[in-house]
């Protein structure tokens, strides 16, 4: 199998590794995945598994070539475009299921997959705390200028303590703003409020009553011990969050309403020394506008894990000392990535075995146990493709 790469070179057959050659069902996996258990789940479903070893992002043409004339299912990456042409090819090859190795799936044309009768899986439930912790790390790194100070030390410029050396922002007792209070956003909010006694102001299309109750109870406890009671505010206005918060962390879904949610106009609403954190989706920020704002507002800081046009960054971003930038590592812990592998493989195996769908609101942790449910962990179009719910 020769697959044409995005450049002039060929992605050769030698870059594909085959596991369980005797398997009757063929599954392609576009990148090596952490752990071993995910493979055994597919082996138990009688699958031959072909894994692309290339670190390059596969184009749609490459994926179509890899699907070939017979393919029952596929596990792909958020960096790939799984569009209508790809799903039509998968259907014609006998495919019935695709799983995205991510919780988000804005790279997947779910409607096209549904029209082709192909189930689309994702991997929620195991990224929550890991991604929230990364957002916390970005917040602290930006607030205390960790990357700048690290570079200063490594360059041998440190000659002694100074009262004004790398002054940063104090977070304790300030206000944290969260836009998107789903699983990850709410977890980030809890960590910031409980860890730094911060007030919270948040926006979401749905009010998160569980989050509010939890933090109000925490605030009452703090107050009973003689400290300042923390406040929790729900705002229907994103602009109010941006105006009032000292730190703003972005956790919305990506759709037409949230693309360029943060633009030059909204950046101007924020405090001059605010901290903006994005570990959700790159296109929620107008990156070129952000770079311009960073250059004209040296006290404004940002921590980014995702980018508008990955793997590229906007011109000038890498030169901004007030930006902390990391390469999309929000879910990059061993436990989480192995868990994602298991969920992605479990989606494939379950659909091939005609199991029901566990449901997106259910806890995913049973699938990490020694006796996982006989169900697909998360199929986003389960109802539309006729997969019954687990009972």
- Residues serving a catalytic function are 281, 310, 328
Return the sign of the alpha-carbon dihedral for residues 137, 141, 147, 153. Answer: negative
The continuous run of DSSP H or E covering 147 comes out as helix 146-154
**Helix 146-154 × helix 128-143 angle, to 10°:** 60
Contacts of 227 (CB under 8 A, 6+ apart): 197
Residues 6+ apart with CB under 8 A from 370: none
Instruction: Name the DSSP letter for residue 312.
Output: B
User: 3-class secondary structure for 2-52?
Assistant: CEECCCCCEECHHHEEEECCCCCEEEEECCCCCCCHHHHHHHHCCEEEEEE
CA separation for the pair 213, 232 (Å, rounded): 9
Percentage helix, strand, coil for the chain under 3-state DSSP, each rounded to 5: 35, 15, 45
CB 320 within 8 A of CB 148: no
Contacts of 219 (CB under 8 A, 6+ apart): 229, 230, 231, 232
How, if at all, do strands 301-304 and 323-325 pair?
A: parallel
Closest CA to 301 of 252, 265, 248, 262: 248
State how far the Cα of 305 lies from the Cα of 56, in Å rounded to an integer: 20
């Amino acid at each position: 199998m020769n697959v044409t790469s995005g450049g002039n070179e060929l992605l050769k057959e030698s870059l594909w590794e085959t596991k369980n050659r005797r398997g009757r069902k063929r599954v392609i996996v576009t990148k090596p995945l952490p752990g071993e258990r995910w493979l055994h789940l597919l082996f138990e479903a009688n699958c031959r598994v072909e894994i692309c070893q290339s670190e390059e992002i596969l184009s749609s043409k490459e994926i179509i070539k890899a699907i070939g004339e017979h393919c029952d299912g596929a596990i792909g990456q958020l960096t790939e475009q799984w569009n209508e042409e790809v799903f039509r090819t998968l259907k014609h090859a006998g495919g019935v299921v695709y799983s995205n190795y991510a919780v988000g799936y804005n790279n997947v044309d779910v409607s096209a997959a549904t029209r082709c009768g192909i189930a689309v899986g994702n991997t929620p439930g195991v990224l929550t705390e890991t991604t929230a912790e990364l957002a916390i790390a970005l917040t602290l790194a930006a607030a205390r200028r960790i990357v700048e100070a690290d570079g200063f030390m490594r360059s041998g410029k440190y000659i002694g303590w100074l009262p004004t050396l790398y002054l940063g922002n104090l977070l304790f007792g300030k206000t944290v703003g969260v836009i998107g209070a789903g699983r990850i956003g709410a977890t980030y909010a809890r960590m910031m409020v409980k860890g730094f006694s911060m007030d919270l102001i948040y926006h979401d299309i749905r009010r998160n009553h569980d989050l509010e109750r939890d933090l109000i109870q925490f605030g009452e406890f703090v107050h009973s011990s003689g400290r300042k009671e923390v406040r929790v505010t729900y705002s229907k206005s994103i602009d109010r969050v941006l105006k009032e918060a000292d730190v703003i962390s972005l956790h919305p879904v990506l759709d037409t309403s949230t693309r360029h949610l943060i633009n030059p106009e909204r950046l101007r609403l924020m405090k001059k020394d605010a901290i903006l954190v994005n570990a959700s989706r790159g296109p929620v920020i107008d990156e070129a506008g952000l770079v311009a704002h960073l250059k004209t507002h040296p006290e404004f800081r940002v921590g980014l894990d995702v980018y508008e046009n990955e793997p590229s960054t906007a011109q000038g971003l890498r030169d901004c000392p007030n930006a902390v930038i990391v390469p999309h590592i929000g879910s990059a812990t061993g436990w989480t990535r192995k868990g994602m592998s298991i969920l992605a493989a479990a989606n494939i195996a379950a659909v091939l075995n005609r199991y029901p769908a566990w449901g997106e609101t259910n806890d995913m942790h049973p699938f990490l146990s020694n006796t996982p449910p006989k169900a697909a962990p998360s199929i986003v179009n389960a109802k539309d493709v006729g997969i019954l719910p687990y009972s």
